[in-house]
Structure 1
Amino acid sequence: MRTFALCFLLLTSLSACGLRPLYGGASSPARAALGSVEVGEIPGRAGYLMRGALEQRLGAAGSTPPRYRLEVELDDQITGFGVRADNAVTRERRTLRARFQLVAADRGTVLLDATAGADAGVDVVSSEYATIAAEDSALENLTQQVADQIVARIALYATRTADEPGEGQAPGAASEGP
């Protein structure tokens, strides 16, 4: 009983502080903004994977005309370290960084300009095929992580701009800068 009372007290205090879910409900500003984002072309294999991951998370299936355009530039690097006595690399770090801009489709105004990134370690083994497969697997995982970061930043932006005084229209519609 004591635990129940403590949980009840904690929950009522959280609701009083204005805490609410980011993706809460079908009519939330974040969900509406995410559904109206068009992802631009991103070159390369990493770009192909990133675009697919973003489109999957945004859920924009062409049901409504896009209000926003997401432009993404990727920097994918593999750095060798962990060198043996014979100068052979035994470990690699794969780094994927993304600079992204959320642009108002009608005006071309940049609403959000930010970066996201993730790193993964790859063991270099005697089999070149196994090393390449590990590098590819790392890239697939990194694109998923970076896509999660990008979508979270867009959702947070949409929620914050919807909460601004005088914001009665779509998230970011009255904003002229990041």
Structure 2
Amino acid sequence: MRFLALPLALLLSACGLSPMYAGGGEGRVAASLDAVTVAAIPGQQGWLMRDALVQKLGSGDAGARYRLDVRLDDQLDGLGLLGDDTIGRERRTLRARYRLVDLTTGETLLDATAGSDAGIDVVSSEYATIAAEQTALENLTREVADMIVTNVALKMRSAPRQPAG
């Protein structure tokens, strides 16, 4: 069994994969993400999104080299009419258009979109439905923020190394 383990380990090391956050907090990707400041985003959805992004990226305020601009589109659509012509199900869709801007050159390094949606059951209690809509928004915000941070990290990883300044 030991004879099989060594060749398999050698094959895995030759696959070309490398860790995204090589070097930990001092690595290139982590340091680049820490240098991102998130611009203000209007509305409750914007506050939730900015908070989620800052938690994942860091504040970026001290020594910010990049700015992340985000525009949100939040929609709540009624689906599934019941026999009494009331809505029985809703779909909440959160889409984000975001740009990563290099503050030293003004160049847009990344211009992309991310989005997700969630289904919500409409029940007889208006309070429960409103609470479900709010929970869906909070969950969607975290999902979309994860997508944005992953895409920004991939961009930072593939960007050419910057000279130390």
TM-score (norm 1): 0.85
The answer to whether the aligner puts 1:49 opposite 2:48 as a matched pair is yes
Q: Would the aligned equivalents of 1:34 and 1:60 in 2 still touch at CA under 8 Å?
A: no
Q: Write out per-residue CA displacement over residues 108-165 of structure 1, whole angstroms, 9 at most, x where no aligned residue.
A: 110000000111110000000000000000000000000000000000001111xxxx
In the other structure, the counterpart of 2:80 is 82
- Aligned counterpart in structure 2 of residue 137 of structure 1, from 135, 153, 158: 135
User: Displaced runs of 4+ in structure 1, greater than 6 A?
Assistant: none
Number of aligned residues:
162
- Shift of the alpha carbon at 1:17? 2.6
Letter aligned with residue 52 of structure 1: D
Supply the distance in 2 between the matched residues of 1:46 and 1:11 (Cα, whole angstroms).
46
Partner-residue secondary structure (3-state), 1:78: strand
Q: Would the aligned equivalents of 2:96 and 2:144 in 1 still touch at CA under 8 Å?
A: yes
Supply the distance in 1 between the matched residues of 2:147 and 2:10 (Cα, whole angstroms).
30
Supply the distance in 1 between the matched residues of 2:101 and 2:95 (Cα, whole angstroms).
19
Letter aligned with residue 47 of structure 2: Y
Supply the distance in 1 between the matched residues of 2:111 and 2:9 (Cα, whole angstroms).
35
Aligned counterparts, 1:81-120, within 5 A: 81-120=79-118
**% same residue:** 56
CA 1:93 to 1:9, structure 2 compared with 1: closer, same or farther past 3 Å?
A: farther
Q: Write out per-residue CA displacement over residues 74-111 of structure 1, whole angstroms, 9 at most, x where no aligned residue.
A: 00001111111221100001000000000001221100
Supply the distance in 1 between the matched residues of 2:60 and 2:73 (Cα, whole angstroms).
27
CA 1:102 to 1:11, structure 2 compared with 1: closer, same or farther past 3 Å?
A: farther
RMSD over aligned CA atoms reads 1.6
Supply the distance in 2 between the matched residues of 1:156 and 1:11 (Cα, whole angstroms).
26
- Aligned counterpart in structure 2 of residue 68 of structure 1, from 59, 62, 66: 66
- Shift of the alpha carbon at 1:34? 0.5
In the other structure, the counterpart of 1:34 is 33
Structure 1: state its 5+ residue gaps.
162-166, 171-178
TM-score (norm 2): 0.91
Q: Would the aligned equivalents of 1:22 and 1:159 in 2 still touch at CA under 8 Å?
A: yes
Letter aligned with residue 13 of structure 2: S
CA 1:132 to 1:35, structure 2 compared with 1: closer, same or farther past 3 Å?
A: same
- Shift of the alpha carbon at 1:12? 2.4
- Shift of the alpha carbon at 1:61? 5.2
